[in-house]
């Protein structure tokens, strides 16, 4: 028997996440969100040095493809990733943006992915594809969640697709020996393309099948993602792809009782 003393909102989000494997929520801390937008905007301006550009951040992000060639997009992405991970401030802002919902779904004593990831997908760019997969296939913990934060409105192929939890579990159960591309073709009808508005955040389970395709819209997608899990939940270890604490994750919000408990040793009586 599990006790449940959650508020109505917590119960609603928990039930949704348990049933679907994901939830899309409106960001409550808009101050942090706007601060993050401003910082990413300034980094991109500094690195691209466009001759003319929109002072509207969202408009600039949506039209990034007008300022950079496809062949240069990966080097730009890696350069921005390096800069945003040179300071803990960016990770802190992303955490605070999703904190309310992370607390509800995962808890508040956490392990967080060491590096914040950035994705940039230009229109009709074939080099930024993420084939259908579940993160657990590559050794991610089934206890973690992924926080996915688009910095623009995303819809249709400008967004990502996923297959809700129950259907994903059914497919994964019978996936042995099958090519993932064949899974993609067979289950197109089960895929849900997410419509996420600027100012909303997606949190999803690594156990659900998801991915993206060629962005067939005329706008660029820019998004950030990072992973959170309960600090004391199990850590997976896959040969050549270690996902352990101190390597892939770092502790976040370790509480006083845990600090004392970790140091305590029973005497030999």
Residue 90 CA to residue 213 CA, distance in Å, equals 28
Residues in the chain predicted with pLDDT less than 70, given as ranges, are: 1, 237-241
Rg of the chain, C-alpha, whole Å? 20
Per-residue model confidence (pLDDT) at position 241: 64
Residue 88 CA to residue 96 CA, distance in Å, equals 12
SS (H, E, C) 96-126: HHHHHHHHHHCCCCEEEECCCEEEEECCCCC
CA angle 215, 49, 46 (to 5 degrees): 95
Per-residue model confidence (pLDDT) at position 238: 63
Cα torsion angle, 166, 170, 176, 179, sign = negative
- In the block, tokens 């945003």 appear at 84
Instruction: Write out pLDDT tens, residues 205-238.
Output: 999 999 999 999 999 999 999 999 999 999 876 6
pTM of the model: 0.94
Question: Closest by alpha carbon to 147, among 185, 181, 113?
Answer: 113
Instruction: Write out pLDDT tens, residues 119-162.
Output: 999 999 988 888 999 999 888 899 999 999 999 999 999 999 99
b/e per residue 108-130 (b: at least 16 CB within 10 A): ebbbbbeebbbbbbbbebeebee
């Amino acid at each position: 028997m599990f006790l449940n003393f959650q508020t109505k909102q917590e119960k609603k989000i928990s039930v949704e996440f348990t049933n679907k494997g994901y939830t899309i929520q409106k960001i409550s801390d808009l101050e942090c969100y706007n601060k993050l937008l401003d910082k990413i905007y300034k980094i991109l301006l500094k690195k691209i040095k466009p001759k003319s550009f929109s002072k509207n951040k969202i408009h600039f992000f949506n039209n990034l493809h007008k300022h950079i060639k496809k062949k240069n997009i990966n080097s730009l992405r890696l350069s921005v990733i390096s800069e945003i991970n040179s300071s803990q401030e960016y990770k802190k802002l992303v955490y605070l943006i999703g904190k309310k919902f992370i607390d509800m779904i995962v808890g508040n004593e956490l392990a967080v992915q060491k590096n914040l990831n950035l994705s940039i997908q230009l229109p009709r760019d074939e080099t930024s594809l993420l084939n259908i997969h579940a993160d657990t296939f590559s050794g991610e913990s089934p206890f973690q969640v992924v926080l996915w934060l688009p910095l623009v409105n995303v819809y249709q192929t400008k967004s990502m697709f996923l297959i809700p939890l129950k259907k994903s579990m059914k497919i994964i159960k019978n996936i042995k020996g099958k090519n993932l591309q064949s899974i993609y073709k067979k289950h197109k009808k089960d895929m849900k393309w997410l419509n996420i508005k600027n100012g909303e955040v997606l949190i999803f389970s690594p156990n659900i099948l998801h991915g993206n395709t060629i962005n067939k819209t005329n706008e660029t997608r820019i998004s950030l993602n990072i992973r959170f899990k309960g600090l004391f939940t199990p850590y997976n270890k896959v040969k050549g792809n270690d996902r352990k604490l101190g390597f892939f994750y770092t502790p976040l919000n370790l509480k006083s009782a845990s600090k004392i408990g970790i140091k305590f040793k029973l005497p030999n009586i």
